[in-house]
Structure 1
Amino acid sequence: MSEQGKGSASASAAAAAPAPGSDTYKGWLFKWTNYLKGYQRRWFVLSNGLLSYYRTQAEMAHTCRGTINLATAHIDTEDACNIVLSSGGRTYHLKASTEVERQRWVTALELAKAKAIRMMNEQSDDSGDEEPTSQSDRSEIQGTLKILVSKLDDLSTCNDLIAKHGAALQRSLSELEGLKVPVEGGEKIKAVNERATLFRITSNAMINACRDFLDLAETHSRRWQRALQYEREQRTHLEETIEQLAKQHNSLERAWREAPTLVSSTPSAPTTNKGSERAPKEEASDEDEDTEYFDAMEDSPAFITVTTTENIQHRRSQSNLSGASGGQPSDWTQDDHMSPGCNDVSGKELQPCRKRRAHIPVKPNYSLNLWSIMKNCIGKELSKIPMPVNFNEPLSMLQRLTEDLEYHELLDKAARCDSSLEQMCLVAAFSVSSYSTTVHRTAKPFNPLLGETYELDRLEEFGYRSLCEQVSHHPPAAAHHVISQRGWTLWQEITIASKFRGKYLSIMPLGAIHLQFHSSGNHYVWRKVTSTVHNIIVGKLWIDQSGDIEIVNHRTKETCQLKFSPYSYFSRDVPRKVTGVVADSGGQAHYILSGTWDDKMESAKIIQSSRGGSGSEGKQKTVYQTLSPKPLWKKYPLPVNAENMYYFSALALTLNEPEDEVGLTDSRLRPDQRLMEEGRWDEANSEKQRLEEKQRAVRRRREAEASDALDEECDYDSGREYEGYQPLWFHQRRDSVTGETNFVYKGGYWEAKERQDWSMCPDIF
């Protein structure tokens, strides 16, 4: 595609912008033809709900290359400049010269489609017809079809006669040309006239039959269009109903599987310290130890797991299977089960220093037209879309980031592991657990202001302190640092990249998560997967997680490969499935991980592996023989009435609880977020606009100061560049393990809190 072609296309399209109130839109677009010619430049005209295209503008007077009825077309976008139109089983791939021009075309097409559907519905309503499924309508349609068939037969007969008489007329004309005798010429001319008369009569009959056919088709085309639209709506409704039934069926199956464990836990209580810890174990032992189960993994790494048929208890007592160093069973193997209700992994019930709140004001029922806001935002970054608080939840992105610590006891437990492979299993479960809070959380968190912070001080209850700070605004980036007295430190810098694609929203967290254990020095690094919010415009919102996570222990070079399977309506797998393999530095697998990111994770110790047969795609599978799986993590139940409190977990309900002595930039002090939590959304929207304008004014002032400072530096020729915005509690450093440059905690915040000296904090609220 030449630059000249792009420029002319852009200029022509820009010049063809429709006048106010006009229903016509014209311009150049590139249309995909085939793999040999690729995209070809075509002139497109949008008028009265029809999109037509031509090779040149001059062709509009006599030839149309194709027409698309937008009333029945599906409009989609592939990337920044592409448009995909599907109608009547055909798909048209179009490309604009710029993203702005693409957006203009998409808006014009959507408006034309809406108008065409509205006109079609109005015409259908004016006709006063009954539903097309009634008995009288069916009889009428069948009768009409019979009449059309007879008319088509008449046309076919006329066509045969025309062909026959036309051939005879051609022969007579040929004979006429070779005649020399005038008498014979008169006879032949008479014969030609007779044949021409027959030809004309037959042609008139065919024309009349065609006219009857056309009149009949025009009379009933409106009914057929309405019937077709009705059947399509019924099909869509049926598909949605089937999908909902499938989800309900899966929920019922899961509830049925868990029901026996709740009943059986009562008589088994004397044999264990906690009844809640007995249930997962009995669930795992519901299958007889002599049975085998197969778990086929289609994608890499592909494997099949087989439960061993030998004495499980005997093997668990062997030090070479437990993996603990020095022949001693590790703490991880002694404490097999996680208790959803325990506050401390040591088994001691801790009394918190303060009672945390267990509820927030109920979410008001505000209605808003999402499409009116989102239609002009396709292809943009989510952080750059001006959204009202109606689509938010009363938490900031910094608080959502802190929610990763909801299952911090997994890290407390991992810190006590002697085996780094067992420790890796718990770290993997922790990385999966951070997604469990998102399954119902379809609302958007507040975008933090530059310099905004959030602290979570749980030192006395759980032994850790967490601090987040918004360190960059373009692109938006947050730095997070957590230190625990129970033997671990976690830090991360997360940048959220997001794209709105019309039907769904993709959220791609960029940046690495670092976790280091103090006693062993094991340093784990991993990254988050992509989150997708479906049914943005129509239907019920739902969230899916998909992609791969690789967790690396940089001290021992051990790895864990986790796969988040994307949801598929036609898949027989459990929804939200997560699988993984823990391997040592040599690539030898030791543990199989399995579960779902919204419920639980389990691990199974590998005792033998072998090559199996080929899968459906010809890939050779690895067969792992394992011990019975044991639980690593189980999701806590949601609080009562959570559906009316934004589906917040018990931890999320406490994150925005007012606290004294926090920093002046803390998210708890953000006024628009506080007003929204209290249900005063109109005031929250006004306050949100004020804060955003204040932030823009500060940025403009900082840019002006930077410009002046650079001018002074040039005058004095000192060679030192002007430094832009610098975070208060974090600074950029190169990581010695990964080699990446990121923001890390430089200290001072908790000391400032002890002194209650917040004089260095900027005024952002």
Structure 2
Amino acid sequence: MLCAGVQRSCEVDGSDENDEFFDAMEDAPSFITVNAETKHRRSGSSQSMMSGGVPSDWTLNENVGGLLLLRHTETNKLQPLTIFFQDTSDSNHMQLRRTRRSRIPDKPNYSLNLWSIMKNCIGKDLSKIPMPVNFNEPLSMLQRLTEDVEYSELLDRAARCGDSLEQMCLVSAFSVSSYSTTTYRTSKPFNPLLGETYELDRLQEYGYRSICEQVSHHPPAAAHHVTSQRGWTLWQHITIDSKFRGKYISVVPLGKIHLQFHSSGNHYVWSKVTSTVHNIIVGKLWIDQSGDIDVVNITTKDTCHLKFSPYSYFSRDVPRKVTGMVEDCEGTSHYILSGTWDEKMESAKIVDSSQGSGGSEGKQKTVYQTLQPKLLWKKYPLPDNAENMHYFSALALTLNEPEEGVAPTDSRMRPDQRLMEAGLWDEANTQKQRLEECQRLERKRREVQSMQGIEEGQEVEVYQPLWFEKRTDETTRESSYIYRGGYWEAKERQDWSMCPEIF
């Protein structure tokens, strides 16, 4: 179960461990080669007990999406069956939790000539090119963005840390963890329509809830806000720049991710690295992550520089390698981080350093003496049959599960995405073309209104998102979309009268 996260102390050092030594180079921190002995384990045992039963005038059905449904024997009406399990691991805090689906229909085996579609797209922005659903996975970019918080327990642990440098280690591991789901996910998510939203309410399970909105269509941009009852808030405004380069596709996310802890006020900022999909024309598709991430605590000025090493056929390094160094505001190194973006991250506390020899171009290397590395994060195993379910993680399998009470603009309501998930790809392509044509007509309508307003000397109304507003960030001085509030209150009232009809 996803709720069984890594339950370890926030301590990332220990005096009872053996020392290890690392060379510090002047270039990329390739000196970090740690073999961890710490084993990942899930803690917390619970007994489960189903609450309630099926009424006599309803029968149990199952739809193509694996969702359990109740069918009324007289009216033939369908409604979702919500099963709750009682967590008795803590007798003083017993609570009911909804079960989530654990599978979706297997992906059909459709063949399509990729080159016949892509040959005229070299150098172009892929967001502007109509593509059949054959190249998609049945999730929107908003849902993919929400997957960033799959390992939210790292932030829960970080919120309990009294030491800002230990907290930095956990936050840095969290920044890496968001890439773990991409190893085999070479299909593109659906481009959200302007005004499309996606909510993820996991207050009961993990203490947080998340809301995303597509705030711009060209360039495509999404805003995301997550609030946790366990002591942290995360927000981001991401614009995607994607180009087809002939043999590969590069996806460059532009924008900053912000994280603030409620008790300490520590405010972290970082960005994303470049994703590259290789073998577009010939061979098996595979994805790589490369580039640098600077995680900065703008409150204390602590930093962590992470390097995602690009894959090289000639390199002896471990594939998908990530290395990093945690430094305080004075530039003193305290922790070495190492691991891979698809498997795990570890930290080793530095206890001593000295100048060595043998650096390139006559430069000296710094030799760090460290304690034994500690496991910070380990990837959850993929569900059974994942290779036939788009390689979705356990969380991803639940993201498109129908929910009652969400906004009519929610990604779960997209007919093309829903049909694709069900394996009805021809019908999905028809719906996708309809939605894209409606969006083009709506954009032209706004452009005509703007031109008329300019000619008549009137104030031109620019598109305004419902739940986010553009502001200048006080810390980075960059313009970004920030959550204005009101979504969860509207959901509680079930008042969606302000929402546009986009599907």
Q: TM-score range by the shorter chain?
A: 0.7 to 0.9
Matches within 5 A, 1:551-700: 551-700=295-444
Q: 1:339: Cα distance to partner?
A: 3.5
Q: Does 1:752 align with 2:490?
A: yes
- For the 8 Å contact 1:530–1:547, the answer to whether it is kept is yes
Q: Distance in 1 between matches of 2:400 and 2:96?
A: 18
Distance 1:505 1:304, change over 3 A: closer
**What does the per-residue CA deviation read over 1:677-732, in whole Å, with 9 as the maximum and x for residues that have no partner?**
00000000000000000000111111111112222226xxxxxx413110000001
The structure 2 residue matched to 1:299, chosen from 19, 27, 30, is 27
The structure 2 residue matched to 1:339, chosen from 41, 57, 60, is 41
Tell me the residue number matched to 2:173: 429
Distance 1:664 1:575, change over 3 A: same
Q: Distance in 2 between matches of 1:343 and 1:399?
A: 30
Distance 1:529 1:359, change over 3 A: same
Identity of aligned residues (%): 75
Tell me the residue number matched to 2:81: none
Q: Distance in 2 between matches of 1:732 and 1:339?
A: 42
Q: Does 1:548 align with 2:276?
A: no
- For the 8 Å contact 1:451–1:665, the answer to whether it is kept is yes
Q: Secondary structure at the match of 1:613?
A: coil
Distance 1:350 1:583, change over 3 A: farther
Q: Distance in 1 between matches of 2:432 and 2:363?
A: 54
Q: 1:354: Cα distance to partner?
A: 1.1
The structure 1 residue matched to 2:144, chosen from 378, 382, 400, is 400
Q: 1:615: Cα distance to partner?
A: 2.7
- For the 8 Å contact 1:638–1:650, the answer to whether it is kept is yes
Q: Which has the higher contact order (CA 8 A, sep 6+)?
A: 2
- For the 8 Å contact 1:304–1:621, the answer to whether it is kept is no
Distance 1:700 1:610, change over 3 A: same
The structure 1 residue matched to 2:470, chosen from 722, 732, 736, is 732
**Alignment-mate amino acid for residue 483 of structure 2:** Y
Q: Distance in 2 between matches of 1:584 and 1:343?
A: 38
TM-score after normalising by structure 1? 0.56
Consecutive unaligned residues in structure 1, runs of 5 or more: 1-273, 279-283, 308-335, 715-720
Distance 1:501 1:352, change over 3 A: farther
TM-score after normalising by structure 2? 0.85
Tell me the residue number matched to 1:311: none
Q: Secondary structure at the match of 2:450?
A: helix
Q: 1:277: Cα distance to partner?
A: 7.9
Q: 1:534: Cα distance to partner?
A: 0.4
Distance 1:609 1:541, change over 3 A: same
- For the 8 Å contact 1:525–1:553, the answer to whether it is kept is yes
Tell me the residue number matched to 1:55: none
Q: 1:609: Cα distance to partner?
A: 1.1
Let me know the Cα RMSD of the aligned residues: 2.6
Tell me the residue number matched to 1:116: none
- For the 8 Å contact 1:277–1:337, the answer to whether it is kept is no
Q: Does 1:764 align with 2:489?
A: no
Find the structure with the greater CA-based Rg: 1
Matches within 5 A, 1:64-75: none
Distance 1:666 1:493, change over 3 A: same
Tell me the residue number matched to 2:268: 524
Q: Distance in 2 between matches of 1:734 and 1:377?
A: 35
Matches within 5 A, 1:141-160: none
**Alignment-mate amino acid for residue 741 of structure 1:** S
Q: Distance in 1 between matches of 2:353 and 2:94?
A: 44
Matches within 5 A, 1:220-259: none
Q: Secondary structure at the match of 1:572?
A: coil
Matches within 5 A, 1:39-58: none
**Alignment-mate amino acid for residue 579 of structure 1:** T
Q: 1:376: Cα distance to partner?
A: 0.2
Q: Distance in 2 between matches of 1:304 and 1:667?
A: 42
Tell me the residue number matched to 2:116: 372
Distance 1:289 1:416, change over 3 A: closer
**Alignment-mate amino acid for residue 724 of structure 1:** V
Q: Does 1:463 align with 2:207?
A: yes
Q: Distance in 1 between matches of 2:156 and 2:238?
A: 23
- For the 8 Å contact 2:19–2:369, the answer to whether it is kept is no
**Alignment-mate amino acid for residue 680 of structure 1:** L
Q: Distance in 2 between matches of 1:398 and 1:619?
A: 47
Q: Secondary structure at the match of 1:763?
A: coil
- For the 8 Å contact 1:391–1:443, the answer to whether it is kept is yes
Consecutive unaligned residues in structure 2, runs of 5 or more: 47-88
**What does the per-residue CA deviation read over 1:556-577, in whole Å, with 9 as the maximum and x for residues that have no partner?**
0000000001111111111100
- For the 8 Å contact 1:478–1:495, the answer to whether it is kept is yes
Q: 1:300: Cα distance to partner?
A: 3.6
- For the 8 Å contact 1:306–1:623, the answer to whether it is kept is no
Q: Distance in 2 between matches of 1:532 and 1:343?
A: 40
**Alignment-mate amino acid for residue 653 of structure 1:** L
Q: Distance in 2 between matches of 1:631 and 1:448?
A: 37
Matches within 5 A, 1:99-498: 294=22, 299-301=27-29, 339-340=41-42, 353-498=97-242
Once the two structures are overlaid, the 10-residue window that deviates more, 350-359 or 556-565, is: 350-359
Structure with the higher fraction of residues in helix conformation:
1
Q: Distance in 2 between matches of 1:576 and 1:617?
A: 27
Q: Secondary structure at the match of 1:650?
A: coil
**Alignment-mate amino acid for residue 723 of structure 1:** E
**Alignment-mate amino acid for residue 671 of structure 1:** P
Q: 1:612: Cα distance to partner?
A: 1.7
**What does the per-residue CA deviation read over 1:126-162, in whole Å, with 9 as the maximum and x for residues that have no partner?**
xxxxxxxxxxxxxxxxxxxxxxxxxxxxxxxxxxxxx
Distance 1:636 1:703, change over 3 A: same
**What does the per-residue CA deviation read over 1:280-299, in whole Å, with 9 as the maximum and x for residues that have no partner?**
xxxx99xx977856567673
- For the 8 Å contact 1:350–1:461, the answer to whether it is kept is no
